[in-house]
Amino acid sequence: MQVKGEYKPLIVAFCCNWCSYAGADLAGNNRLNYPDNVKIIKVPCSCRVNPMFVLRAFQRGADGVILCGCHPGDCHYTSGNYYTRRRMALLFSMLNYLGIEKERTRVEWVSAAEGAKFAATMNEFTEAVAALGENKRLEDLRCKK
Amino acid sequence: MQRIGVFVCWCGSNIAGTVDVQAVSEALKNEPGVVFSTNYQYMCSQAGQDIIKNAIKEHKLTGMVVCSCSPRMHEATFRKTAAAAGLNSYMVEIANIREQCSWVHKDMQIGTEKAIILGKAAIAKVNLNAPLVPGESPVTKRALVIGGGIAGIQTALDIAEAGFPVDIVETKPTIGGKMAQLDKTFPTLDCAACILTPKMVDVAQNENIRIFSYSEVTEVKGFVGNFDVKIKKKARYVKEDVCTGCGLCTEKCPQKKVPNEFNLGMDNRRAIYIPFAQAVPKVATIDPNACNMLKNGKCGVCAKVCAAGAIDYKQQDEIIEEKYGAIVAATGFNPISMDKFDEYAYNQSKDVITSLEFERLTNAAGPSAGKLIRPSDGKHPHTIVFVQCVGSRCAACAEKGKEYCSKICCMYTAKHAMLTRDKYPDTEVYVFYIDVRTPGKNFDEFYRRAVEEYGVHYIKGMVGKVAPEGDKLMVQASDLLANKQLHIAADLVVLAAAIEPDKSARPLATMLTASMDTNDFFTEAHPKLRPVESPTAGIFLSGACQGPKDIPETVSQASAAAAKVIGLLCKDKLTGNPCVAHSNELMCNGCSSCERVCPYGAITYIDKEFRMPDRTTRVRRVASVNPAVCQGCGACTVACPSGAMDLNGFASKQIMAEVDAICK
Amino acid sequence: MQKVTGELLINKALELLDNGTVNRVLGWKRGEFAYDMTPAVFADAEELKNNFVFNDFCGANFSKYLIAETRKEGKVLVFLKPCDSYSFNQLLTEHRFDREKVYAVGIPCEGMVDISKVKKAAGDGILDIVCENDGLVVKTLYDTDKVIDCKEVLAERCVSCKSRKCVAYDELLGENGDVLDSSRFDEVEKLEKMTEDERYAFWQNELSRCIRCNACRDVCPACTCEKCVFDNPDSGVENKAVSDSFEEKMFHIIRAFHVAGRCTDCGECSRVCPQHIPLHLLNRKFIKDINEFYGDYQAGAEVGSRAPLVNYTVDDLEPSEAVQKGDADNA
């Protein structure tokens, strides 16, 4: 946990309703700490996450965006997370190509039983993003130096 | 503008311990749209729910946010509360300030700040919510079972017993499937015909069941509860309702040299035939490729001998259209072709046979009347080699075999070996295996008996080569445990061929918009929790079309599928989940991207007429979502480049608003 | 230096108009300047004889025009260069026009020239340009005529041409070429080899020049939405022209993502950009990634193929692996 007043990165976490959101609930049930700057948005399936949502979060000041879904093969809708995997592979690769640090984006598969993994992932991801500092790049991409 | 009520729950000290609930309800009071905000010890209690109900009425709320435990706990509760007070249930959003806030943070200030942000995000979303009403669709109380093997028979019988009409469509002239070809069944060794044929008779006599044999499904339209199906009844040139099944025609037909597919070509049938004595329906069928009358008009013997006058050379294929509420796929399996396995000399020697051919050879109704003989010379074989896993578990040879385990071969080979030793103790029996897999009830005991009581030689290792030499088959194999090569001069070699889904399954899956795996087995809606349903609503899976299975497993799955069908047909109306996708036709390009990612086949295309500003009309192809089929995953919304596709309850705008509220 | 002449195309068009196969022709006509060839629809023979041109400046890809053209009465004749034929197929895959209402004539292309390169070579004040054999004769205000070798001034997209094969046509003029082993990803690779900071500096420099004229979107044969997502009030991203808006900042990323797997790499976006932003480098990054992650895929190579973003395999690579793979600097 951060000390008050210190720089805290803002993390937006999109969690699918069936696995990862339940995984986050389990982390809560087991009182497993993770940073308060992680804010969860519930989506029915990770495949509901439009790249525009990710970009919007960055544009509005998020420092890191993480998508969590059911493990490949376990999607409640059978194939949603497979599409997520392709979409985000291409999007994140593109963002990195534009010079956005790759540590700011992540996809993690978290099942409803993996409360500990959820908390650990959020701790680790927040730490990695915090090390990079504030995300200014996507905001400034179209600005002259 | 919405009129939103905010209800912050203490959950005793669960929330209030680390979140200043008073501060949260105060802070959220000033959010856009909020007209009322309060907090209470237990919102889910009767008293808490009364606070909500009163506020809805008193403040004429159009939406509400409950800051409480996870929506997985009490979303349904609060939706009911809202509905009871006259507020649409889908105008309720939950801010999860327990599992995702008070329980994971220890500091009161941090917890309170986060709870406020989560509340704001939920309020931002509710501001964009719209009342949703679940759609209803009627249910046609009739089921279609595609495939008339033991799986289809069991499913149909169970559904019919529950009082619903069922139609079975079977491509062959008779139902019965693979089980009808078997001799004895493991692990009890009762005869297949003795347990199957009574069931076939039950099917024939059940008033709720219609059998469309020698027929196939050609078109499926519609959706769960409301399928429109076209069935092609192929011309069998015999009037089904007139034929008595006396079989006289099949004795008099002069065309005697047609390979008998029921005996896998090991003997011949006539051009007009009844596949086997207990066939259901017991009606003759003329094979148009073999019948001289149909080919060149020269014969007509069967018509002359038929006392009932059932022969009709002019019969045409008939298309039957019927409505169904549920469809069960029970298309079964086939052994794979042995053509590519040159090492086993299957195509060189008549005495190299598959296990299914072995079944026919030992079956009392088979080509040798149950006497175990060599197909080449009719002599009794003294040395038999069984080869397991021919084409199964064959990852390295994907072009000729299958990667998966065919599951049934270990057991039927043990059965064959045991029966051979039992009937012909003078015969040496060798079984070559990679592993012996016997995980069923009484299965391992059965296999142990074959080894210990019947003296079958089980050898761990694979056969490398079978070479015909004189009247012997020289088998070269490895014994992995003894680490040596073996040479056996065998009289008969039996190959446990891998099994694969029937070829008709793939086109059927396309018609049903049901998904398949890479091996063409139907995929289930959930591999553990919904094993007999296809992801496509209203489509159910029975038997080996879903994966290799033995008879007991097939029958239990068949009954499970029937239970699911009965559960569906019992309903008069289906209530849908209103959180489904919908397409804005004005913006849709008709590009098909959404259709391609939909796992349920819920999206179709229609040509729709649009009025243009200049008063002309234009017809455009646009996507149309069937709300009864859509499950609301949202895959289509992202595939759609123009944003024409959106999801009720999780609209792009709503999620964007949540993002904005969090990132503010 | 084109292998087929304008005359040949005119004769073909006249023949097809005459025998009633088509009732109009989609072609190029000379614009205000000698290098300014604009798409036009010709309905009668006279007009065709007088104004139809085909030369080294006819870069415009007509396939997108077919969406509007096929809504009209009768059949339209379209000339498709190899590049254009890929877009043609891709649009058919997406059901964007009625194939029955088009008569497509495939024509070979030797590459089109880039006017800015010509200007650089010939200087300002160009009065006229005549295409002769393998060169351009440039008349300017100040100098005597200059002869420029076409190969020296080829457009970037033609230097790294991916295919000289027409993949869709009813009839072919001249001989069909082959799919080429092109060097089109070299530039992308160069960027991948840079550090994150260098890449960011590169793109900031390029994208900050964008004036949001929408020319790239308007010309792109993959951008054929009835209404663009940025004009859709329900998308949550629609904005009025505000310099700090989401649309303003993310336009190019989102546009590139929306055409990913559907972009045929025709290069029209870069051709029409008045600010000379190398937009094709965004599209090519997606194409290169798709090829590397999911196997080679060329949008428009055949009708009905399943685009990689509406497809999957169970053992696709993970996004984290993808980012590593696409980042040569860190690989």
Residue C95: list chain B partners with CB under 8 A: 590-592, 605, 621
Cβ(B559)–Cβ(B567) under 8 Å? no
Residue C75 inside a domain? The answer is yes
pLDDT of residue B329: 98
Domain membership of residue C216 as a residue range: 186-325
pLDDT of residue A144: 76
A6 within some domain: no
- C86-138 pLDDT, tens per residue? 999 999 999 999 999 999 999 999 999 999 899 888 887 888 888 887 788 88
Residue whose structure tokens are 């088959």: B473
- Residue B651 C-beta-side C-alpha neighbours within 13 Å: 25
Please give the pLDDT value at position C328. Answer: 63
Task: Judge whether residue B259 has pLDDT over 90.
Answer: yes
**HSE-CB for C131 with a 13 A CA cutoff:** 21
Quote the ipTM score: 0.95
H or E element, residue C104:
strand C102-106
Question: Does residue C98 sit in the same domain as residue C123?
Answer: no
Checking if the pLDDT of C325 tops 90, the result is no
Contact B475, B487 (CB under 8 A): yes
Confidence of residue B240 (pLDDT cuts 50, 70, 90): very high
Q: Is residue C289 situated within a structural domain?
A: yes
Residue C258 within a domain: yes
SS3 label, residue B89: helix
Q: Is the pLDDT of residue B441 over 90?
A: yes
Residue of A nearest to B648 (CA): A44
C181 domain-assigned = no
Chain C: give the shortest CA distance to residue A4, in Å: 31
Residue C241 is predicted with a pLDDT of 53
Give the domain extent around A132: 11-139
In a domain, C1, yes or no: no
Give the separation between CA B219 and CA B198, rounded to whole angstroms: 32
Token output for B526: 């959930």
Cross-strand partners of B37? B6
Would you tell me which residues 90-129 of chain A have a C-beta closer than 8 angstroms to some C-beta of chain C?
A: 90-102, 105-107
- Whether domain B235-316 has CATH 3.30.70: the reply is yes
- Tell me what pLDDT residue B125 has: 97
Whether C248 and C279 share a structural domain: yes
> How many CB pairs lie under 8 A apart between chains A and C?
144
Closest Cβ opposite residue A99 in set C203, C208, C320: C203
From the list C71, C226, C236, the residue facing B642 with the nearest CB is: C226
CATH number for domain B4-126, candidates 3.40.50, 3.55.50, 1.20.120, 3.40.1000:
3.40.50
Q: What are phi and psi of B161, to 5 degrees?
A: -60, -30
List strands edge to edge, sheet with B326-329: B209-212, B166-169, B143-146, B326-329, B539-541
> Taking CB atoms and an 8 Å limit, are A52 and C250 in contact across chains?
yes
Token pair 């991409």 in the structure block, residue: A141
Average pLDDT, chain B: 95
pLDDT at C242: 55
Please name the member of C208, C235, C322 whose beta carbon is closest to the beta carbon of A93. Answer: C322
Residues of B near C (Cβ–Cβ under 8 Å) read: 584, 586-593, 596-597, 605, 618, 620-621, 639, 641-644, 646, 651-657
What does the pLDDT read at residue A36? 94
Please give the distance of CA B564 from its chain centroid, rounded to a whole number.
12
Name the CATH topology of B581-648: Alpha-Beta Plaits (3.30.70)
Query: Testing the interface with A: which of C238, C254, C293, C323 to mutate, by most A Cβ within 10 A?
Result: C323
**Position B584 confidence tier, pLDDT thresholds 50, 70, 90:** very high
Number of domains in chain C: 3
Q: Does C247 touch chain A (CB under 8 A)?
A: no
Let me know: does B554 contact B440? Beta carbons within 8 Å: no
Q: Is 60 exceeded by the pLDDT of residue C273? A: yes
pLDDT tens sequence across B36-92 = 999 999 999 999 999 999 999 999 999 999 999 999 999 999 999 999 999 999 999
Share of chain B above pLDDT 90, in %: 91
Nearest by CB to B589, which of C225, C259, C310? Answer: C225
Residues C167 and C211 in one domain: no
Interface of C with B (CB under 8 A): 71, 93-96, 224-229, 232, 234-237, 258-259, 306-307, 309-311
pLDDT in tens, C23-47: 999 999 988 888 889 999 999 899 9
Does a structural domain hold residue C180?
no
Q: Given the structure tokens 């003329």, which residue do they identify?
A: B286
pLDDT band at A123 (very low <50, low <70, confident <90, very high): very high
Which pLDDT score, from 0 to 100, does residue C128 have? Answer: 87
Could you report the per-residue pLDDT of B274-331, keeping only the tens digit for each?
999 999 999 999 999 999 999 999 999 999 999 999 999 999 999 999 999 999 999 9
Radius of gyration over alpha carbons of chain C, in Å? 21
Give residue for tokens 């501060």: B23
A88-111 confidence digits (pLDDT tens):
999 999 999 999 999 999 999 999
B343 has a pLDDT exceeding 70: yes
Instruction: Tell me if B124 sits within 8 A of B658, measured CB to CB.
Output: yes
Q: Name the residue among C180, C167, C173, C135 with its Cα closest to residue C154.
A: C135
Residue C281 has pLDDT above 90, yes or no: yes
Residue of C nearest to B658 (CA): C236
- Strands B472-479 and B484-490 come out as antiparallel
Contact C199 A88 (CB under 8 A): no
Question: Looking at the partner chain, which of A91, A96, A102 has a beta carbon nearest the beta carbon of C257?
Answer: A91
Which of B555-564, C191-200, C236-245 has maximum average pLDDT? B555-564
Mean pLDDT of the B163-183 span = 97
Same domain, C135 and C205: no
CA distances in angstroms from C312 to B659, C84, C288, listed in the order given: 28, 28, 17
User: Does a structural domain hold residue C155?
Assistant: no
Domain count of chain A? 1
Q: What is the pLDDT of residue B585?
A: 92
A1–B658 C-beta distance less than 8 A: no
* A87, A106, A141 member nearest C203 (Cβ): A141
3-state secondary structure of B316: coil
CA B510 to chain centre: 13
Q: Using 50, 70 and 90 to split pLDDT, how confident is the model at C244?
A: low
Look at residue A75 in the predicted model and tell me its pLDDT. Answer: 87
Same structural domain, C41 and C165: yes
* Tokens, residue B23: 């501060």
Asked if the Cβ–Cβ distance from B642 to C227 is below 8 Å, we say yes
Residue appearing with tokens 């294929």: B317
Please report the pLDDT score of residue C278 as a whole number: 95
Q: Domain ranges for chain B, please list them.
A: 4-126, 235-316, 333-500, 581-648
B261 in contact with A, Cβ within 8 Å: no
How near does any CA of chain C get to the CA of B588, in Å? 7
Q: Count how many residues are written for chain A.
A: 145
Based on the fold, state whether residues C199 and C301 are members of the same structural domain: yes
| Residue ranges of E strands in A1-145 | 11-16, 38-43, 64-69, 105-109
Q: Do C232 and B643 touch (CB under 8 A)?
A: yes
Confidence band, pLDDT 50/70/90 cuts, at residue A3: very low
B184 vs C330, more confident? B184
Return the CATH number of the domain spanning residue range B333-500.
3.50.50.60
CB-based contact, B534 to chain A, within 8 Å: no
CB contact under 8 Å between A27 and B104, yes or no, is yes
> Do A94 and C249 count as a contact with CB atoms less than 8 A apart?
no
pLDDT at C329 over 80: no
Co-location of C94 and C207 in the same domain: no
Q: Which chains touch B (3 or more CB pairs under 8 A)?
A: A, C
Q: Does residue C164 contact residue C178 with C-beta atoms inside 8 Å?
A: yes
Q: What pLDDT is recorded for position C286?
A: 96
**Interval C129-150 mean pLDDT:** 84
**pLDDT for res C233:** 78
In a domain, A111, yes or no: yes
| Amino acid in the structure at residue C72 | K
Give contacts of B114 with chain A, Cβ < 8 Å. Answer: 36, 39
The rounded percent of chain C whose pLDDT value lies above 90 is 70
Is B638 in contact with A51 (Cβ distance < 8 A)? Answer: yes
Average pLDDT over residues C179-193: 92
Give CA–CA dist B60/B33, Å, rounded: 12
C-alpha distance from B231 to closest chain C C-alpha (Å): 29
Taking the CA of residue B379 as centre, how many other CA atoms within 13 Å lie in the half-sphere pointing to its CB? Answer: 14
Per-residue model confidence (pLDDT) at position A1? 41
Q: Is the pLDDT of residue C254 over 60?
A: yes
Q: Do A51 and C254 touch (CB under 8 A)?
A: yes
What confidence score (pLDDT) does residue C146 get? 86
Confidence of residue C230 (pLDDT cuts 50, 70, 90): confident
- The whole-model pTM stands at 0.79
Q: What is the pLDDT of residue C247?
A: 78
* A12 vs B31: CA distance, rounded Å: 21
Chain A positions in Cβ-Cβ contact with residue B579 (cut-off 8 Å): 44
Residues of chain B contacting C229 with CB distance shorter than 8 Å: 641-643
Considering the domain architecture, whether residues C313 and C239 belong to the same structural domain is answered as yes
- pLDDT for position B536: 84
Decide if A34 and B104 are in contact by the 8 Å CB cutoff: yes
pLDDT band at B135 (very low <50, low <70, confident <90, very high): confident
Chain C residue numbers touching A93 (CB-CB < 8 A): 285, 289, 319, 322-323, 325-327
So what's the pLDDT on residue C331?
46
pLDDT tens, residue by residue, B218-231? 999 888 999 999 99
In this structure, which long-range contacts are made by residues C28-36, counting pairs with CB atoms below 8 Å and at least 24 apart in sequence?
Answer: C28/C52, C28/C53, C28/C54, C28/C58, C28/C60, C29/C53, C33/C126, C34/C126, C34/C127, C34/C128, C34/C129, C34/C130, C35/C115, C35/C118, C35/C126, C35/C129
Cα–Cα distance between B620 and B606 in angstroms, integer?
8
Q: How far is B252 from chain C (nearest CA, A)?
A: 53
In sequence order, what are the beta bridge partners of B4? B34, B63
Alpha-helical regions (H) of B148-290:
150-161, 192-205, 248-252
The answer to whether C311 contacts B596, with C-beta atoms less than 8 Å apart, is yes
> pLDDT tens digit string along B511-536?
888 888 889 999 888 778 889 999 88
Q: How far is B519 from chain C (nearest CA, A)?
A: 13
The answer to whether B487 faces chain A, any CB pair under 8 Å, is no
Please indicate if any CB of chain A lies within 8 Å of the CB of C197: yes
B50 Cβ contact partners less than 8 Å away, ≥ 6 residues apart: none
CB contact under 8 Å between B599 and A78, yes or no, is yes
In order of B29, B52, B75, B93, B130, the CA distances from B56 in angstroms are: 16, 6, 17, 14, 16
All residues of chain C having their beta carbon less than 8 Å from the beta carbon of residue A51 are: 253-254, 257
Note whether C124 and C103 are same-domain residues.
no
